[in-house]
Structure 1
Amino acid sequence: MDASAITLALDSLWVMLAAILVIAMQGGFALLEAGSTRMKNSGHVAGKQIISFAIASLGFWAIGFAITFGNGNSFIGTSGWFLSGGEDAFSSLSWAVVPLELKFLFQLAFVGVSLAIAWGGFAERGKLIVYFIFGIIFTMFIYPVIGHWVWGGGWLGSMGMQDFAGSTVVHLQGAVAALVATILLGPRIGKFNKDGSPNIIPGHNQVYTVLGGIILWICWFGFNAGSTMAVGDGFFTYVALTTNLAAAAGAIAALVTAKLLVGKADIPATVNGVLAALVAITASCAFVEPWAAVVIGAAAGAVTFWTSIYFEKKGLDDPVYAFSVHGIAGVIGTISTGLFASPRLVEITGIGQPGLFYGGGFAQLFVQVIGVLGAAAYVAAVSFAVLFILKKTIGLRVSAEEEMSGLDISEHGSYGYPEHIGIINKKNQAS
């Protein structure tokens, strides 16, 4: 076996493992979101992760992958439908030597994560049919457009935008869609009092929340380090290092911030601090030095906790804090490379320019800001149009009676926890 064959085999094995790790993030999200919501919705919240990945798989295979990475123009890909045309139809991915089918599987895993984030905004009150309709549109026509702009040879990539593994492409997109859904759906019954003050609606299982967070932390090594799509130069180990340092800093920063702001070392806040830091370092993991990764992770963990409180006080009911964790942190991470991108790492990756703090001026920072604004505007506009039409036609939200009984029973006919029926019966008898 010659050197090129060995390289192909090793790279393919690594990317396959990375893809499996990223797909396994669906399990992390299932535990995290189910644990962060009420018992009566737990089966629904967990089960929608399977629905999410199934929809993403078919939609991205048919159309989404071609729009994202297919040869085309600066705005969309126009070739490679249903993976047709072979490698020649996807020149934007020619830098990786692994087979096209594996490139698709790895990128599909990212789409699945972005859609899972978007659906966080629907939690505990969205209709199941809306998941299907919006999920199809998101994976075919929303996510792929921004993906093409940044990674598929589009105009943001041509400007040198630095988003190594998707703080904007994956996380900000999902978060903006979740925000639009949250606004159009309105708050859950009982979330706010008549004077507008919020009530705490705690999740039913903090152990699930923590376990989901740990699974996501582990799987993120596939997310970030796997985006090298190669093992030969060992650069994937550096990406893994910055990823882990940021996550650790985010955990501590969120814990301290919660203690300072609310007087308690809040456990869910600590988990969200880890996730926010991971979201932030996703863009910059290949461009910043380890010390900067710690700064970025800590900033994301602290700011995310503060914004989750701020948005709630302003009347936004985001049950799993999708916009704070994935949106605000996604912005922080994307902007951070404009400040911290190291000249030596920019040279290694060949993307963009050094950041402001390394004497690069405002050039890279400007590109990063344009990327964030452009992506957010497109996703918000299309998501609002789609969801507004659905709201005026079939409706976005289940009935008040269905919401009170829980989506497990109203949408699926059974509870995630059958014991819940006994609890409800006892309450009814007592009343």
Structure 2
Amino acid sequence: MTKTGRYTRLAGMAGLAMLAMTAPAFAQEVEEEVFTLSGPETAYIFNTLLFLIGGFLVMWMAAGFAMLEAGLVRSKNVAMQCTKNIALFSIAGIMYYLVGYNLMYDGVDGGYFGSISLWGVDDSGGVGTDASGYASASDWFFQMVFVATAASIVSGTLAERIKLWPFLVFTVVLTGVIYPIQGAWQWGGGWLSEMGFSDFAGSTIVHSTGGWAALMGALILGPRLGKYVKGGGVNPMPGSSMPLATLGTFILWLGWFGFNGASQLALGTVDDANAVSTIFINTTIAAAAGVVAAMILTQLLYKKVDITMALNGALAGLVAITAEPLAPTLGWACIIGGIGGVIVVLTVPLLDKLHIDDVVGAIPVHLFAGIWGTMAVPLTNADTSFAVQATGVISIGIFVAVSSLVLWLALRFTIGIRCSEEEEMMGLDKAEIGVEAYPEFTTS
């Protein structure tokens, strides 16, 4: 070994010795650092982060709804659906800022609604002394994207024959008044909350609300031209793109992890982290069961698998598990989601028999599966009862249905809600938007 090599070896050994002597002190410094990061401030950061991550995942669901609807309507109406979806999301945000948030959360105190006032962010109060703190702006953002989801449900049902501006007027009232009031009854600490009603992430508060509003709109608006023929027949009107519809479904599935997972409302403890993880796996297994159940049932009933039923089966499974995604075992989550998929397959033709034209199947997915999911909560959550759950489903259903019906009728008899027959045949891309999604070709 050369002299240089010996010096290098000795220097290395000395360095290791010094590291060994300082290791306990270094470890103590790391331990102290970890200890200082384990208090209320850290819980505040993680809770806020959960709201923000969940919020932007739910916001991404707006893209899912847009793509799902774009795929399930005919080519001549695709640009109209895209326009409605970006417009309703924007309106929901503004209305929730102007009146919705405070109406839903400010001073409800066991009553029916909060204050009618402008929401203003106030994060100046510090992090508190426990693990329940979070930035109020993150909470507003998370709650706002939920109300936009409810409005998106209405858009798909009424596609291909409703005028743009009457629909947007309805969206203003739905997101600013109707949704916040019924949401205050439970999530705002209102009378349903006091009674013990449970709807973890909104099978009824979000999805059935959108479903009831959509159903009332479909009844007043009427079916598309040529959808139902004399003698009770149904004229199929295939959508423009199954790849787009499938992409939209996968985007919605991804967004649902924020929808359900962040509804735990906290990530500041080990128990919260475990709860969010459980919610994630229950959410995805329910969606998977909805797909499989819908595929098997359509094969048995129609001798073929219907891709639109499979897609809506996934969404119905997601809607069904949303009311209680934490308490069920994986087996129960599979059953709850699977029944959601069955509900879609059975109720889509039921609506056709009643001549209720729901273009994308939103009423079976969001209303019927939402009711099922809410009523299924006592099966896995012993703190609830079927009577109380039914009270919540019925009361919210009556309020949303009646208020939506009144509003749809008012719009119909004032500014009108339906385009002309000529405009419907032409397609709303040309008639209402002036920009076609597929200018090279359109089909009826």
- TM-score of the pair, normalised by structure 2: 0.87
Q: Tell me which residue corresponds to 1:62.
A: 98
Q: Does the 8 Å contact 2:121/2:136 carry over to 1? A: no
Q: Secondary structure at the match of 1:184?
A: helix
Instruction: Please state how far the C-alpha of 1:125 moved relative to its aligned partner.
Output: 0.6
Matches within 5 A, 1:45-194: 45-79=81-115, 81-84=117-120, 86=122, 96-194=132-230
Q: Tell me which residue corresponds to 1:244.
A: 284
Q: Does the 8 Å contact 1:338/1:366 carry over to 2? A: no
Q: Tell me which residue corresponds to 2:418.
A: 397
Q: Secondary structure at the match of 2:229?
A: coil
Matches within 5 A, 1:369-388: 369-388=390-409
Which residue of the other structure, out of 209, 231, 246, is the alignment partner of 2:245? 209
Instruction: Please state how far the C-alpha of 1:315 moved relative to its aligned partner.
Output: 1.1
Deviation by residue 1:86-131 (Cα, 9 ceiling, x = unmatched):
4899xxxx99421111100000010000010022222111111112
Q: 1:137 to 1:366 in 2, by over 3 A?
A: same
Q: Secondary structure at the match of 1:82?
A: coil
Q: Tell me which residue corresponds to 1:294.
A: 334
Name the CA distance, whole Å, in 2 between partners of 1:15 and 1:161. 23
Q: 1:143 to 1:172 in 2, by over 3 A?
A: same
Matches within 5 A, 1:10-25: 10-25=46-61
Q: Does 1:229 align with 2:250?
A: no
What code does the residue aligned with 2:65 have?
Answer: F
Q: Tell me which residue corresponds to 1:360.
A: none
Instruction: Please state how far the C-alpha of 1:340 moved relative to its aligned partner.
Output: 2.7
Q: Does the 8 Å contact 2:209/2:396 carry over to 1? A: yes
Q: Does 1:338 align with 2:363?
A: no
Greater radius of gyration (CA): 2
Q: Tell me which residue corresponds to 2:256.
A: 220
Q: Tell me which residue corresponds to 2:8.
A: none
Q: Does the 8 Å contact 2:108/2:188 carry over to 1? A: no
Instruction: Please state how far the C-alpha of 1:138 moved relative to its aligned partner.
Output: 0.3
Q: Does the 8 Å contact 1:25/1:113 carry over to 2? A: yes
Name the CA distance, whole Å, in 2 between partners of 1:262 and 1:310. 15
What code does the residue aligned with 1:197 have?
Answer: G
Name the CA distance, whole Å, in 1 between partners of 2:346 and 2:115. 44
Instruction: Please state how far the C-alpha of 1:10 moved relative to its aligned partner.
Output: 1.9
What code does the residue aligned with 1:401 have?
Answer: E
Q: 1:384 to 1:283 in 2, by over 3 A?
A: same
Q: Secondary structure at the match of 1:83?
A: coil
Deviation by residue 1:294-340 (Cα, 9 ceiling, x = unmatched):
11000010111110111112211110111101000000100001223
What code does the residue aligned with 2:212 have?
Answer: V
Which residue of the other structure, out of 311, 314, 318, is the alignment partner of 2:354? 314
Name the CA distance, whole Å, in 2 between partners of 1:202 and 1:75. 46
The share of aligned pairs that are identical, in percent, is 37
Q: Secondary structure at the match of 1:136?
A: helix
Q: Structure 1 stretches of 5 or more lacking a match?
A: 344-351, 354-363, 425-431
Q: Does 1:277 align with 2:317?
A: yes
Q: Secondary structure at the match of 1:284?
A: coil
Q: Structure 2 stretches of 5 or more lacking a match?
A: 1-35
Q: Does the 8 Å contact 1:254/1:301 carry over to 2? A: yes
What code does the residue aligned with 1:314 have?
Answer: L
What code does the residue aligned with 2:394 have?
Answer: L
Q: Does 1:261 align with 2:301?
A: yes
RMSD value, Cα: 1.9
Matches within 5 A, 1:348-363: 352-353=383-384
